[in-house]
Amino acid sequence: MYFLAPEYLWLLLVPPGLVLIYLWLMRRRRKLALRYASLAIIKQAAAGSPRWRRHVPPALLLLALALALLASSRPLATLRLPSSSATIILAMDVSLSMRATDVQPNRLVAAQEAAKTFLQELPRDIKVGIVTFAGSTQLVQAPTHDRDSLVAAIDRFQMQRGTAVGNAIVVSLATLFPDDGIDLGEMTFGSVPRGKGLDEKSKSPQKEVEPVAPGSYASGAIILLTDGRRTTGIDTEQAAKMAADRGVRVYAVGLGTVDGAVSAFEGWTSIYMKLDEPSLRAVAQRTQGEYYYAGDAQALKNVYTTLSSRIQVEKKETELSGLLTLVAAGLSIAAAMLSLRWFGRIA
């Protein structure tokens, strides 16, 4: 919490001063009471109501004053509010190692089922796009509200060799920011001289991006799922910087074997079956996202459930002056009502 008018915070010294004055008045009142000729009269006068009642209205009034004075300094708080216009990109690994059965029935099927569950739990007003990556990277489903199209795209996954983690982030960013001119081919191979490319269509140059605070982009996020380490494509750190500069959070999900295991198909060795957790943690940390490890199918579903709740909210700064003033008014009214009810006057 911080304040738009902090120069008024000194006013908060007033309520403690009033408390001291109130205590002094109570002490003075007791001294005056001792001058009565008979203490029985005092006891009889006080027998009508419990002693604590006389302190409740002043206490409520002092609290109301403190809140009103705090409101004058215009406090701001960061609140987590439901997101209504977010776009989520699911970037999913479809490399050959996803056929491993250490996650039942295998890694790919477990990832597909968890993604479908995620789509069911996500609010309908949030768009979802799907990117698949292995040696190459494709946007297999543009962002849409149509959950059936998304499920159909998930069911059509085709596995390939290689793992281009950085490419997956870049293609996801190109999908979230279509006007930025992000071109994966140019980043990988450099610009193609005019007249020598197969595609003669003019492409907008890559836009210079003014870096923003990491994690500040509230209209989209990337969920990156992989079971291995980068073997080709754009450097993962470079791709993470691109996401951080645009304020996009990357939620990285690691699936499968952390220590490495020798695969039993097509001559793959343990280096391609080992999950690169440090790299995924670095991506999540740089983009202000989070890293999750899922060692089995149930853990993967739990991760996606957690992500669903994370992504449904966005942080917004909200001024609390109006709320504090409303509460102060309510406390003042309550103090007056209690005083009238118990003592027949506002005191």
pLDDT in tens, 256-275: 777 655 555 555 444 446 78
| Pair (60, 180) in one structural domain | no
The answer to whether position 190 is within a domain reads no
| Pair (63, 90) in one structural domain | no
Mean pLDDT of the chain: 82
Whole-number Å distance between alpha carbons of 166 and 185: 13
Number of domains, the chain:
2
Instruction: Taking residues 312-341, report their average pLDDT.
Output: 82
The answer to whether position 108 is within a domain reads yes
DSSP letter assigned to residue 333: H
Domain range for residue 118? 83-185+210-317
**Omega cis (within 30) before 105:** yes
| Pair (98, 147) in one structural domain | yes
pLDDT of residue 249: 94
CB 185, CB 150: distance < 8 Å: no
The answer to whether position 191 is within a domain reads no
Look at residue 61 and tell me whether its pLDDT is greater than 90.
no
The answer to whether position 203 is within a domain reads no
Q: What is the CATH number of the domain that holds 137?
A: 3.40.50.410
Range name among 187-191, 224-228, 235-239 with the lowest pLDDT average: 187-191
| Pair (243, 153) in one structural domain | yes
| Pair (119, 230) in one structural domain | yes
* 207 or 277: which leads in pLDDT: 277
* 226 or 35: which leads in pLDDT: 226
Range name among 11-15, 120-124, 195-199, 280-284 with the lowest pLDDT average: 195-199
pLDDT of residue 51: 73
| Pair (288, 261) in one structural domain | yes
| Pair (170, 48) in one structural domain | no
The answer to whether position 150 is within a domain reads yes
Tokens of 246: 């645009």
pTM: 0.65
Strand order, beta sheet including 2-3: 2-3, 75-82, 313-319
| Pair (221, 338) in one structural domain | no
